[in-house]
């Protein structure tokens, strides 16, 4: 089963968008502050004029005992709440601390209350003195346009900064992305700046160097093991062939078993060494008939069925073709079917094919519940196992190399499912 490749995002693009969004927000906040400041300055100037006029009127009253006439035509003295303009009288009564009121038809009032004369008020109609409110639409339009211009400039600057900042990261990613194990880059860290990117480059350089050294050790080990294992197997086969020529009829069958076992072991060693060298997968995969390989596997493992009341059933659905490397598939089937034969004492072993999956089920004792979830891990084995617990872990590794999915289920008996890639 092919793993889905995760979707990656451009770091430079994210820097640009976040910088632009930040600039847009700051521009909006600055516009609101500017508009508020203009309103505040306007109200401050108007209120100062009202206070100056109120001081003049208060001084005149204290000197003559009578209220003088306001000097400004837009101001008037009111000596009762009921005499306030109808536009804002009710609001002024409800909110005695309020100084600014909006009237009808665009009128705007400032109200001054004389502290020493509670029932005396100075009403100033200041609509003609307003500077900001009449041109508020134009101010907002100017702030919006200027904010957009600043944001565009900021985006351009962010694009330049983002490209320059992420260029070393892009170069580093291109250097190590998709590189083959045989051509790992070396000594590239000094080509990057001495910052966080340089630290990452040095770490990758060191890690890739260790990987390259480990790969070289594995290649040397594989070559040595290949020679050490193939040579004695070839000697065994040759010795069996010579012994068969001089053996009698009664002795021929055991020798034949030894010869077939040596052949099977030779194929297994060849496959495992091929996997160790990573000469696997679709490179050698071909469309092959599944049924002949199953029949050959059953015959090669028939000794495990001796003295057991077991029926082996290969369903007609197995007459299909699968895309696989023959030797790899044979090793997998030897392990899976061999386990079914080995641990089933009586009953049936059934082999079928359904929905691009090979199903091998048996009526054996099943897998212990405490290890059922980790039975394909290395070194995990049941109480009845006489091996080292490597069989299913090898099968799992071979399946991963081929892009197949292995499932092991155990209730009453065991069901092993091998899902081939489509």
Prediction pTM value: 0.48
Give tens-digit pLDDT for 213-222. Answer: 877 777 777 6
Residue 4 resides in a domain:
no
Instruction: State the pLDDT at residue 191.
Output: 78
Q: How far does the chain reach from its first CA to its final CA, in angstroms?
A: 9
- Is residue 326 located within the same domain as residue 252? no
Instruction: State the pLDDT at residue 230.
Output: 72
Report residue 7's pLDDT band, with 50, 70 and 90 as the boundaries. Answer: low
- Is residue 38 located within the same domain as residue 77? yes
Give tens-digit pLDDT for 133-169. Answer: 788 888 889 888 988 888 888 888 888 887 787 777 7
- Here the CATH number for the domain that contains residue 190 is 1.10.287
Mean pLDDT (the chain) is: 82
- Is residue 292 located within the same domain as residue 403? yes
Among 86, 121, 139, the domain boundary falls at 139
- Is residue 295 located within the same domain as residue 411? yes
What is the per-residue DSSP string for 252-286?
HHHHHHHHHHHHHHHHHHHHHHHHHTT--GGGS-E
- Mean pLDDT value across residues 219-232: 72
CA distance 372 to 408: 8
Smallest CA-to-CA distance from 268 within 291, 302, 299, 297 is with 297
Residue 25 resides in a domain:
yes
Give tens-digit pLDDT for 36-75. Answer: 999 889 888 989 999 999 999 999 989 888 999 999 889 9
Give tens-digit pLDDT for 232-280. Answer: 877 887 888 878 777 765 666 677 778 777 776 776 676 667 666 654 4
Residue 212 resides in a domain:
yes
- Is residue 379 located within the same domain as residue 287? yes
- Here the CATH number for the domain that contains residue 313 is 3.30.565.10
CA distance 326 to 285: 8
Residue 152 resides in a domain:
no
Residue 47 resides in a domain:
yes
- Is residue 91 located within the same domain as residue 27? yes
Q: Is 417 helix (H, G, I), strand (E, B) or coil?
A: strand
- Is residue 246 located within the same domain as residue 319? no
Report residue 311's pLDDT band, with 50, 70 and 90 as the boundaries. Answer: very high
- Mean pLDDT value across residues 72-94: 89
- Is residue 188 located within the same domain as residue 87? no
Instruction: State the pLDDT at residue 122.
Output: 93
CA distance 54 to 45: 14
- Mean pLDDT value across residues 27-32: 89
- Is residue 289 located within the same domain as residue 274? no
- Is residue 344 located within the same domain as residue 396? yes
Give tens-digit pLDDT for 315-367. Answer: 999 999 999 888 888 888 988 898 888 888 899 999 999 999 999 999 988 87
Among 71, 106, 139, the domain boundary falls at 139
- Is residue 246 located within the same domain as residue 294? no
Evaluate whether 403 touches 280 at the Cβ level (below 8 Å). Answer: no
Residue 97 resides in a domain:
yes
Lowest mean pLDDT among 118-132, 274-288, 371-385: 274-288
Which residue segment(s) compose the domain that 248 sits in? 181-279
């Amino acid at each position: 089963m092919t793993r889905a490749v995760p979707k990656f995002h451009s770091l430079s693009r994210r820097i640009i968008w976040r910088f632009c969004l930040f600039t847009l927000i700051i521009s909006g906040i600055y516009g609101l502050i500017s508009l508020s400041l203009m309103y505040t300055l306007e109200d401050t100037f108007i209120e100062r004029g009202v206070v100056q006029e109120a001081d003049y009127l208060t001084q005149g009253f204290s000197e003559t005992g009578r209220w003088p006439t306001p000097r400004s035509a837009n101001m008037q003295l009111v000596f009762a709440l009921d005499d306030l303009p109808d536009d804002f009288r009710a609001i002024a009564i409800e909110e005695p601390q309020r100084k600014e009121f909006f009237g009808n038809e665009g009128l705007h009032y400032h109200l001054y209350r004389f502290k020493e004369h509670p029932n005396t008020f100075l009403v100033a109609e200041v609509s003609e003195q307003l500077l900001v409110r009449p041109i508020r639409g134009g101010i907002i339009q100017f702030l919006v346009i200027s904010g957009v211009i600043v944001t565009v400039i900021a985006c351009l600057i962010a694009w330049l900064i983002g490209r320059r900042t992420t260029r070393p990261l892009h170069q580093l990613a291109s250097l190590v992305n998709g590189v083959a194990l045989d051509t790992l880059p070396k000594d590239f860290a000094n080509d990057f700046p001495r910052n966080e990117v340089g630290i990452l480059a040095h770490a990758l350089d060191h890690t890739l160097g260790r990987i390259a050294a480990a790969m070289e050790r594995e290649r040397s080990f594989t070559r040595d093991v290949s020679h050490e294992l193939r040579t004695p197997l070839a000697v065994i086969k040759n010795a069996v062939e010579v012994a068969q020529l001089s053996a009698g009829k009664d002795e021929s069958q055991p020798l034949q078993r030894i010869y077939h076992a040596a052949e099977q072991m030779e194929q297994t060693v060849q496959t495992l060494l091929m996997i160790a060298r990573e000469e696997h997968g679709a490179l050698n995969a071909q469309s092959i008939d599944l049924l002949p390989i199953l029949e050959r596997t059953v015959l090669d493992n028939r000794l495990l069925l001796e003295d057991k009341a077991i029926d082996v059933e290969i369903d007609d659905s197995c007459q299909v073709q699968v895309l696989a490397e023959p030797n790899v598939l044979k090793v997998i089937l030897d392990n899976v079917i061999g386990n079914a034969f080995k641990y089933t004492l009586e009953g049936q072993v059934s082999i079928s094919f359904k929905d691009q999956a090979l199903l091998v089920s048996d009526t054996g004792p099943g897998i212990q519940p405490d290890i059922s979830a980790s039975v394909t891990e290395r070194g995990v084995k049941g109480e009845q196992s006489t091996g080292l617990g490597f069989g299913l872990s090898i099968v799992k590794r071979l399946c991963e190399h081929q892009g197949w999915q292995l499932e092991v289920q155990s209730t009453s008996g065991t069901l092993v499912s091998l899902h081939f890639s489509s």
